Structure 1
Amino acid sequence: MQNHSRFITAAVLGTALMLTACGKPETITAGGDDPDAKALNAAAPVELPPMVTQSRTYRCTDGALVYVDFFSNNTAMLKKDKSETGTQLKAEAPGKPYVAEGLSVSGDGPQVEIAMPGKAAQSCKA
């Protein structure tokens, strides 16, 4: 019984301390002058990053696995290992091959042709 009354006393004191620690509530009103409004209105529009439209794993004729992420801005990220960052390739226009630094990916469907430095272009299937 004594422990029960100690618990209640501790709870009441704790609550009282919490309530006294709270200061005057802050009032926030909408529609006031925003000090950053002019700077925000003058800022250049924000360009969102491209979306991943497809992410495929290809098995090439030499048995190698290649990972390719295709993006909405005519770029692709080619990776030889799933955990690496990869190399960004760019297509001049939709339907054109993605190219960069001796690498090339022709197409973005279930079957593509991939060329890598030191290797002949080869067919790869998803």
Structure 2
Amino acid sequence: MKYYLPLIAVAGLTMLSACNKSDEPEVVGGPADPMAAQLANAAPVELPPSVKANKQFRCKDNSLFFVDYMSDDKSAILRTEKNGAPTMLKAAEAGQPFTAEGGYEVKGSGNDVTITVPGKSAQACHV
């Protein structure tokens, strides 16, 4: 046991002696950023809206629709199947119907809404 302690100390000193001993000075600040002025004057970044509520609606014809309402109150995502393709719906103002090209529309954001999809007429749906 007496012989291991000096060997461990020598091994540790050997590892420390392998540290960088360069003669060049270390630059801490780094080079100047060529885009610093542009970034300082850039417009603030607006994050995309997050999901505010997920709702599953059953309609008069017994069909199911899945709607994700976003936090900006001007957009929603409509799915005709639980893991189906999403359709992004937009509203001109908060409280207005959500619409998308092709004839998609969701009126309301509570537990009772009216949903219109291509090939079907508007139908009342509830949670």
**TM-score calculated relative to the size of structure 2:** 0.70
Distance 2:14 2:79 in 1: 58
Distance 1:84 1:94 in 2: 26
Higher helix share goes to which structure? 1
**TM-score calculated relative to the size of structure 1:** 0.71
Is structure 2 residue 60 aligned with structure 1 residue 91? no
* 1:40 aligned counterpart, secondary structure: helix
Letter in 1 for 2:75: T
Contact 2:73/2:95, CA 8 A, preserved across alignment: no
RMSD of aligned C-alpha atoms? 3.1
Distance 2:15 2:63 in 1: 64
Q: Percent identity?
A: 42
Letter in 2 for 1:82: K
Distance 1:82 1:104 in 2: 18
Query: What is the Cα deviation at residue 82 of structure 1?
Result: 2.2
Task: Quickly say closer, same or farther: Cα 1:23–1:116, change in 2 above 3 A.
Answer: same
Distance 2:126 2:14 in 1: 68
Which residue of 2 is the match for residue 112 of structure 1? 113
Letter in 1 for 2:74: N
Which residue of 1 is the match for residue 57 of structure 2? 58
Distance 2:81 2:14 in 1: 58
Task: Quickly say closer, same or farther: Cα 1:60–1:22, change in 2 above 3 A.
Answer: farther
Query: What is the Cα deviation at residue 18 of structure 1?
Result: 6.1
Query: What is the Cα deviation at residue 115 of structure 1?
Result: 1.0
Pairing 1:29-40 to 2, within 5 Å after superposition: 35=33, 36-40=35-39
Distance 1:107 1:38 in 2: 45
Task: Quickly say closer, same or farther: Cα 1:27–1:78, change in 2 above 3 A.
Answer: same
Q: Mark the runs of 5 or more structure 2 residues left unpaired by the alignment.
A: none
Letter in 1 for 2:78: L
Distance 1:17 1:63 in 2: 77
User: Number of residues paired by the alignment?
Assistant: 117
Contact 2:113/2:125, CA 8 A, preserved across alignment: yes
- Stretch of structure 1 that moved more, 81-90 or 101-110: 81-90
Q: Mark the runs of 5 or more structure 1 residues left unpaired by the alignment.
A: none
* 2:43 aligned counterpart, secondary structure: coil
